[in-house]
Structure 1
Amino acid sequence: MSDSNTAGARHDWPLYEVFVRGKRGLNHVHVGSLHAADDQMALHHARDLYTRRNEGVSIWVVRASAIAASSPDEKDPFFAPSGDKVYRHPTFYDIPESVPHM
């Protein structure tokens, strides 16, 4: 296969979003995007690209086409229903200092 055919094939690879959890982190954080032929390749490329300094302990790769997201244009109506449910917010509770990560 020639280089031009390989480049064309790479252009058709799906886009993946990459999330990394750092050694001191509790959550995975979005760090960027990449194209890969399959999930395994995406994991390997994500490791090589986004954890060069051994800062990660876990990587998630998700095909961008599988992500459903709310629209920033609709933020007010989309999030408005939670505003009238004050009991969902921990403002009425004292959290003891012995409870970590709150």
Structure 2
Amino acid sequence: MTLPSSLYQHLITKLVVVLDLVQQSEGITTPQAKQALLHATNDFRNAVATAKRLALDLPGGELVVREQDEIIMMLTQLRDGKRRQLHRFFVAAEDDNMDLDSAASTP
């Protein structure tokens, strides 16, 4: 089962509509504005509820604490490895720049 990505993409759009209605210069003083806000908030709420239901219905989404700890440890190791790679890259780049600088200053 896959999640419909369009549903999640439209959540932001629906939220923006609600925020735009709330922040309009005339506010929500007119019956039409109140009705539009009610419709927009209901639309957003229903979309969030659907997204939440679909996410909760995904199979295999439950992890015990031990599995969570293993994943966190794996991700931490991956992060640390990427940081070491990045550090080596910058050290190598600095060495290359120093070689170029020293060559340029040599008469």
Which structure would you say has the larger Rg? 2
Task: Report which of the two has the higher share of helix.
Answer: 2
Give the TM-score category using the shorter length.
under 0.3
Task: Report which of the two has the higher share of strand.
Answer: 1
Q: TM-score by structure 2 length? A: 0.25
Q: TM-score by structure 1 length? A: 0.26
